[in-house]
């Protein structure tokens, strides 16, 4: 039996990786890359446990993006801030990199996208990425979109790069046994024994992986019809293959 694991859950906070580790959904809303104007960032105060993620840990996602850039060479580096409930739109939220002696604002676009750079002072200060909301209300995930991919599709290489970035950041949150168990299976993004779940922007009637004349119907989750499982580990599918969405009719 394949192990079931949600990449979105990984990007937010890994819940488990055994056979019972069920998907809540990923990544991935097929939204276009961000072009929204960044909003102003203010200082955070009087917020209980506002930490989003240690800055050093988030830098591992940036390193993974650079190391695996060949999967999506045209896609810009980007992360997406997600509110509980899977809503991609985040309002009234500010972000900053903060430690005992440092504080650097992070520009957050209106669509919830953001990025950051390596800042040695923040590394030395063991800083965190924090928000103006209490811990647990907001999460993040990679947001990799190659330009000119249709809004009703996802490029397989983009999904593979998102997986590498999520795993790089979140694997240290797992116990030694769970982390090494995944590695023994071949690694999160490279094992046919791990079924990763991604989330479309709307409920799906079907999702089909297409490369030239070759097609494969993907599994849609029985409980959440927005969730599908692409074969990331199958090297016979090239990175330019597209997952094409057929959306279900909207509810009356």
Mean pLDDT, each 10-residue run in order, the chain (252 residues): 47 32 31 31 37 90 97 97 70 91 94 94 96 84 96 97 95 89 89 89 96 97 94 97 92 53
Contact 139/109 with Cβ under 8 angstroms? no
Same-domain check for residues 23 and 53: no
Task: Determine the structural domain holding residue 102 and report its residue range.
Answer: 38-142
Q: Is 159 helix (H, G, I), strand (E, B) or coil?
A: helix
Contact 165/142 with Cβ under 8 angstroms? yes
Same-domain check for residues 240 and 208: yes
Q: What's the alpha-carbon Rg for the chain, to the nearest Å? A: 18
Task: Let me know if residue 252 belongs to a domain.
Answer: no
Give the pLDDT score at 5: 52
Bridge partners (DSSP) listed for residue 4: 195
Structure tokens at 155: 């490029």
Give the pLDDT score at 13: 33
Of the residues 114, 142, 170, which one is the last residue of a structural domain? 142
Same-domain check for residues 66 and 95: yes
Find all residues with CB under 8 Å of 217, minimum gap 6, and list them: 206, 207, 208, 209
Total domain count, the chain: 2
Of the residues 82, 110, 142, which one is the last residue of a structural domain? 142
Structure tokens at 181: 């168990």
Give the pLDDT score at 136: 78
pTM of the model: 0.79
Give the pLDDT score at 87: 55
Contact 53/128 with Cβ under 8 angstroms? yes
Same-domain check for residues 128 and 217: no
Name the nearest CA neighbour of 16 among 234, 150, 177, 178: 178
Structure tokens at 250: 């909207």
Of the residues 142, 166, 197, which one is the last residue of a structural domain? 142
Task: Let me know if residue 71 belongs to a domain.
Answer: yes
Task: Let me know if residue 236 belongs to a domain.
Answer: yes
Same-domain check for residues 51 and 100: yes
Structure tokens at 220: 């849609």
């Amino acid at each position: 039996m394949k192990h079931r694991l949600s990449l979105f859950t990984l990007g937010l906070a890994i819940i488990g990786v055994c056979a019972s580790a069920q998907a809540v959904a990923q990544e991935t809303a097929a939204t276009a890359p961000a072009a929204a104007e960044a909003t102003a960032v203010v200082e955070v105060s009087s917020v209980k446990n506002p930490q989003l993620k240690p800055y050093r840990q988030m830098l591992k996602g940036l390193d993974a993006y650079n190391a695996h850039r060949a999967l999506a060479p045209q896609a810009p580096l980007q992360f997406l801030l997600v509110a509980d409930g899977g809503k991609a739109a985040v309002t009234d939220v500010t972000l900053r990199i903060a430690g005992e002696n440092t504080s650097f604002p992070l520009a957050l676009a209106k669509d919830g996208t953001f990025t950051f750079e390596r800042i040695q002072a923040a590394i030395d200060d063991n800083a965190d990425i924090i928000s103006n909301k209490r811990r647990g209300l907001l999460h993040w995930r990679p947001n990799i979109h190659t330009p000119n991919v249709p809004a009703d599709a996802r490029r397989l290489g983009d999904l593979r790069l998102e997986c590498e970035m999520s795993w790089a950041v979140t694997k240290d949150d797992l116990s030694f046994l769970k982390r090494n168990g995944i590695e023994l299976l071949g690694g999160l993004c490279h094992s046919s024994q791990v079924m990763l779940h991604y989330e479309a922007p709307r409920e799906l009637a079907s999702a089909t992986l297409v490369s030239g004349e070759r097609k494969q119907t993907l599994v849609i989750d029985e409980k959440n019809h927005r969730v599908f499982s692409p074969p990331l580990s199958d090297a016979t599918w090239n990175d330019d293959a597209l997952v094409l969405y057929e959306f279900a009719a909207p509810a009356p």
